[in-house]
Amino acid sequence: MHKIKEVKWGIIGCGNVTELKSGPAFNKVEHSQIVAVMRRDAAKAEDYAKRHGVPKWYSDADLLISDPDVNAIYVATPPDTHALYAIQAMRAGKPVYVEKPMALNYQECQEMIRVSEETEIKLFVAYYRRSLPAFLKVKELIDNGIIGRPLTVSIRLYESDSQRDLKPENQSWRVNPGIAGAGYFYDLASHQFDYLDFLFGPVFQVQGIAVNQAGYYPAEDTVTGTFRFENGLIGNGSWCFVVAKGNEEDIIEINGTKGKLSLSSFQHGDVKLSTPEGTVNFSFQNPENIQQNLIRQVVEDLRGENECVSTGKSAARTSWVLEEIVKEYYKNQ
């Protein structure tokens, strides 16, 4: 693929995630700017464009993708249209940065990769923890042998039920498997498994149990899983999205032969290092727009300066793991 000197973005789906987490960062990174946005609701597309100083807006994705001023596409819609828009953009010769999880299912991920390879157009996925300081510090400590040889990793993520999920008419698309692929597990555990892939490489063996215990929505609400990495490390995880208020938990623990690392996936707190010599806490500050570091990597990759750490190939591995864990639940639906 030819290098892009100035990356001019078109955003498909300018919803909540683009307001602060990602959108403004495209204009803060050097050699990058948003030139067009699209949302099916024309009034909301126009409002977003005016508030964020974007020159053009559309209510039709085809028009945005074919806009000659747009040379890269950010797909920020729910997962059920990720593959559709990403493939269309790549066939139009435009590289794609797509929200996570990468697609509705692993099969769609594979098709996206196939088109990327066929067209020689680059494909990136918004797993931005690979570029945040706390998560990079954990990688540095592990790579430098500070906790010795990693032995086990354990994930616990417990959240209380969202009040809006109690009534079907108010429920988030994130608990509609037809739109999200599964439930909150796909939305949140995808970040965790992608990060573990970044630390330890691919998972090659995985199994899980998923159930719906509260009955608020069709998707699973409680999940357990066990997994093994190609490097020999073994792990387990437990996720529940209907615990009582006050019983929430969010922790990843990595045990090694010389110590242990603990960190939160979503609270963005300290990294805790525990060794026989004592405990050390490392504190970090994230960028105002949390995807900015990764977006910078994408732009640098497109300009031929560096390689981005989050690609379609790495993201597809995470989608495979997620699907393996919940597949028995959805076989029975």
- Crossing angle (nearest 10°) for helices 312-331 and 106-119: 150
- Assign 196 a pLDDT band (cuts: 50, 70, 90): very high
pLDDT at 250 over 80: yes
For residue 235, give its domain range. 133-285
- Residues 102, 147: one domain? no
Over residues 26-46, the mean pLDDT reads 97
* Listed residues 93, 110, 126: the one ending a domain: 126
- Map residue 191 onto helix, strand or coil: helix
Does residue 263 lie within any of the structural domains? Answer: yes
Contact 93, 70 (CB under 8 A): no
Question: What CA–CA distance (Å, rounded) separates 72 from 95?
Answer: 5
Q: How many domains does the chain have?
A: 2
Q: What's the confidence (pLDDT) of residue 2?
A: 83
DSSP 296-330: HHHHHHHTTSS--S-BHHHHHHHHHHHHHHHHHHH
- In tens, the pLDDT along 314-327 reads 999 999 999 999 99
- Model-wide pTM > 0.95: yes
pLDDT at 32: 98
Distance CA 16, CA 23 (A): 10
Among the three residues 106, 126, 146, which one is the final residue of a domain in this structure? 126
What would the pLDDT profile of 280-311 be if each residue is shown by its tens digit? 999 999 999 999 999 999 999 999 999 999 99
Band of pLDDT at residue 277, cut at 50, 70 and 90 = very high
> Which band of pLDDT confidence, cut at 50, 70 and 90, is reported for residue 1?
confident
pLDDT single digits (tens) 142-172: 999 999 999 999 999 999 987 778 788 889 9
Residue 53 lies in a domain: yes
Residue 312 forms part of a structural domain: no
Quick one: 75 and 43 in the same domain? yes
Q: Does 122 share its domain with 137?
A: no
Residues 208 and 153 in one domain: yes
Do 209 and 250 belong to one domain? yes
Last residue of a domain, one of 60, 95, 126: 126
Q: Residue 106 and residue 317: Cα distance in Å, rounded?
A: 8
Closest CA to 76 of 28, 33, 12, 19: 12
Residue-level pLDDT at 165: 80
Confidence category of residue 216, pLDDT binned at 50, 70, 90: very high
Question: In this structure, what CATH number is given to the domain that contains residue 231?
Answer: 3.30.360.10
Is the pLDDT at 226 greater than 90, yes or no? yes
- At 162 the three-state DSSP class reads coil
Domain identity same for 161 and 274: yes
Residue 167 lies in a domain: yes
Q: pLDDT by residue (tens digit) across 81-102?
A: 999 999 999 999 999 999 999 9
CA distance 3 to 113: 20
Distance CA 108, CA 75 (A): 15
pLDDT tier for residue 5 given thresholds of 50, 70 and 90 = very high
In a domain, 329, yes or no: no
Do 122 and 138 belong together in one domain? Answer: no
Q: Residue 18 corresponds to which tokens in the numbers above? A: 């683009």
C-beta separation of 254 from 248 below 8 A? no
**Residue 317 within a domain:** no
Q: CATH number for the domain including 114?
A: 3.40.50.720
> Are residues 114 and 191 both part of a single domain?
no
Note whether 205 and 242 are same-domain residues.
yes
pLDDT at 332: 76
